[in-house]
Structure 1
Amino acid sequence: MTKQWLYVIDEAIKRIENDEVELGLQALQKVQEHGKDLPEVMLYLAEVWYRLGHLDEAAELLAEVMKANPELDPPLRRECQLLLAEIALDGNDFEAAQHILYELKESGYENLRLDLLLTDLYAMQGLDEVAIKYLEQARQKEPDNKEILTALGNMYFQIGKDDEAMKALEQAGEQSVELLLSKSRVLAQNGDFEQAYHLYQHALEQEQSAEILYGCALMAFHTGNVEEAADYVGRLLALDEEYVAGYPLAADIFLSMGKTEKSIEALEQYVELSGFDLDQIRRLVALLTQSGRYEDAKEYQKLLDAWNVDEE
């Protein structure tokens, strides 16, 4: 009987994924009505409700399963508790999540998912040091788990332990790029352009992407490495000529090098691709005027005036 109900749930999921949402939900409701005496089926159904975003339905169903089955098999009960804790975290109910997770921890239960949920609990409350403790426990269980290493590197970055973060990143392999970018952005926002530039270059060694090339170009420009900035922005636009943010940056770089015409070309390309940043159009008009290209300046001024009217 259990396998039959699980099959019905899987078929209902397929209906929902194929845009037959109403039929799929009706099937799930029927399973809930007629399969209440099967805890394994109800747990699976609760997981499905949770994945579909029906958090209240999932939580209520789990509570009913645990209440109706006081002698529930311990592994199954723990699965119910872990899912309830996850639902509580998604709803920012930290007190409920902590109560469930501590109860499991104090019972002597050791589990990777438990450690990760405790990590989430404290990270979401800004208690990074405590979160790292549980993340380290998770790494002890699975030392080569890239997801754990990635999360650990990110947490180390947040508390300023860059050396430990880099070690975790190196062990994580290709997933370290995301964290390098995350840290680079934070450093750049804090004005630490030199260190941000270093990390962007490190990320570029692992992945040639438009975002990383843009970061390298921007940081090179901010640190006064103009020739390097020009090289990076050239590579960026060769890789992705529709990377719109690259053109104003290219204009800045070329202007700083005294290459006004190349700056104008970059801004003209920018306007052709996006055309919505009026400040950049004003800048283009000013550069064209300064260069004596009055007719071209008039054309862009007309465009600017038209958009100004539309905004009003």
Structure 2
Amino acid sequence: MNQIDQMIDHLHAGSLEEAMQLFQEIKRTATDEEKYDAAEALFGLGFQEKSIELYEDLIELYPEETELIVLKAEAHAELDQIEEAMECLEKITETSEFFSRAMLLSADLYHMQGLHEVSEQKLLKAYETDKSEEVIQFALAEFYIQQGRFLEAIRYYKMLTESEIAGVVISKRLGECYSAGGSFEEALPYYEEALENERDAETLFQYGFTAYQAGHHLTAAEVFEELIELDPEYNSAYKLLAHSYEHEEEISLALEAAEKGVSHDPFNKELFLTAAKLALKSADEAKAETFLREAIAIDPDYLEAALILNKILLRQEKPDECLDIIHTVRESGEDDPQFLWDAAKAFELKEEFSEAAEEYKKAYVVYNDHTDFLQDYGNFLLEEGRQQEALEVYLKLSDRDPANEEWQMNIEHLRQE
């Protein structure tokens, strides 16, 4: 067994002292080729500092061998020694056969520093040097997809002949590009191609989401069902599955999906809201109320859930509970003009008419052009005997619909008094 193999065995065994003794022996007595091999092995094992020592020895002997300079730069980059890596790369000219490799590394280093325009320039230089090199095409495609420049990314992904590079499935990437750019129909065949090799959870989700966005809701439902069977804890699939079935008018299946979802993800307020809305579509008001209360328990200032729950409570003539909800949300720091209207109706149900009048008055500032509110307010004022105020409200309603006989009769009656 030669010294390099012995050193590697000691490193694998954790015998660092013995390995370093052999390293020093290699530096002193090994051939240049053996030093090159040792540097490569040390780099692969994560001992970049030692590989740099060997590369420096070799560069001193062979300064014209630009590959050694690039390898040293790569070792510095692995150690996050950016300046040292850049200093090496500046020595590589366009005449070097390793120029494109140097440009790729340089692009990575600039990208790490957030200098994306410079990084792009380096990648394009590499591409101009060797347009047929798929590693460069892939690097450009990956750069553009990260920057959200999907059309440019598509151009370079489509140049690739390999179906997979560095663990990245190219058809999946193309699907991601088309989908992110809003071209959902174009994305679907690429996801289908990617799934032919492996039906993994992430690709299934992306395919299902893209099918949903493209309006293929039945396909989306089938894909999300498969995904959930594969991974029941893939929580983001349940809401989309529910909405897919909802679009297909399969409300019972949609509600079932949402209920399964909240059982797996009990702190997802949006999923509880989805379940509540589906329960209402199923005419199960009690179940909807339960889901809405769960959503508000998770997030006390969840306005949408609170507003829907208030409608249910007012319909059920539970004014105190409605006012409690308003108080809870306001205490958490949120508010909504609808609460003024809800509070007015709640106080009216409680026959606390002065409080109701105050809330209606506040709400009128916001909803003075809202037909349903004006009708509620006009009826309240009429019942309370506030003829002049009621007349003003009914005249507004009449302007909106002069043919409404009830409103015209009320106006005529109020004018006579």
TM-score (norm 2): 0.55
- Would the aligned equivalents of 2:145 and 2:177 in 1 still touch at CA under 8 Å? no
Equivalent residues of 1:101, 1:118 under 8 A apart: yes
Cα distance between partner residues in 1 of 2:122 and 2:295 = 49
Maintained 8 Å contact 1:237/1:246: no
* Structure 2, gaps ≥5 residues long: 1-101, 128-132, 397-417
Distance 2:290 2:239 in 1: 19
Superposition CA RMSD, Å: 3.9
Indicate conservation of the 8 Å contact 1:94/1:121, yes or no: yes
1:219 deviates by 1.3
> Where do residues 1-312 of structure 1 align in structure 2 (5 Å cutoff)?
1=102, 2-12=104-114, 24=116, 26-27=117-118, 29-36=120-127, 37=133, 38-50=136-148, 54-64=149-159, 66=160, 70=161, 72=162, 74-76=164-166, 78-106=168-196, 108-152=197-241, 154-155=243-244, 159=250, 160-161=252-253, 162-175=255-268, 177-185=269-277, 188=280, 193-211=285-303, 212-240=305-333, 242-270=335-363
- For structure 1, the 5+ residue unaligned runs are 14-23, 306-312
- Aligned residues of 1:46 and 1:62 also touching (Cα < 8 A): no
For 2:285 and 2:231, how far apart are their aligned partners in 1?
A: 35
Distance 1:276-1:90 versus aligned 2 partners, 3 A rule: farther
Partner of 1:308: none
Shift in Å, 1:182: 2.4
Post-superposition CA distance 1:95-152 (Å, at most 9, x none): 432322222233x333323211221233234443432332233335544233345544
SS at match of 1:133: helix
Change (3 A) 1:79 1:9: farther
Residues 1:55 and 1:43: Cα distance change in structure 2 (over 3 Å): closer
For 2:198, give the aligned amino acid: Y
**Which residue identity lines up with residue 175 of structure 2 in the other structure?**
A
**Contact 1:98–1:121 (Cα < 8 Å) also in 2:** yes
Q: 1:219 to 1:35 in 2, by over 3 A?
A: farther
CA distance change for structure 1 residues 236 and 214 in 2, over 3 Å: closer, same or farther?
A: farther
Please report how far the alpha carbon of residue 93 of structure 1 lies from its aligned counterpart in structure 2 after TM superposition: 3.7
Q: Which amino acid aligns with 2:147?
A: W
1:62 corresponds to which letter in structure 2? Y
Q: Aligned residues, how many?
A: 281
Give the C-alpha shift of residue 290 in structure 1.
Answer: 6.9
Aligned-pair identity in percent equals 13
Any conservation in 2 of the 1:154–1:179 contact (CA below 8 Å)? no
Partners of 1:94 and 1:288 lie apart in 2 by 53
| Separation (CA, whole Å) in 1 of partners of 2:357 and 2:109 | 63
Quick one: structure 1 residues 43 and 191, their matched pair in 2 at CA, closer, same or farther if it must change by over 3 Å?
A: same
Q: CA deviation at 1:76?
A: 4.5
Alpha carbons 1:250, 1:263 under 8 Å: kept:
yes
Distance 1:60 1:178, change over 3 A: same
Q: Is the 8 A contact 2:142 2:153 kept in 1?
A: no
User: C-alpha distance in 2, partners of 1:63/1:76?
Assistant: 16
User: Compared with structure 1, are the counterparts of its residues 75 and 132 closer, same or farther at alpha carbon in structure 2 (3 Å cutoff)?
Assistant: farther
Q: Which 10-residue stretch deviates more, 260-269 or 149-158?
A: 149-158
* Larger Cα-atom Rg: 2
Give the TM-score, by structure 1 length: 0.70
CA contact (8 A) 2:289 2:312 kept: yes
**Corresponding residue SS for 1:83:** helix
Q: Distance in 1 between matches of 2:345 and 2:356?
A: 7
Which fold has the larger relative contact order, with Cα–Cα distance below 8 Å and residues 6 or more apart in sequence?
1
Q: Output the CA distance in 2 between the equivalents of 1:135 and 1:198.
A: 26
Displacement of 1:281 in angstroms is 7.9
CA distance in 1, matches of 2:301, 2:122: 47
Contact map agreement 1:210 1:240 (CA 8 A) in 2: no
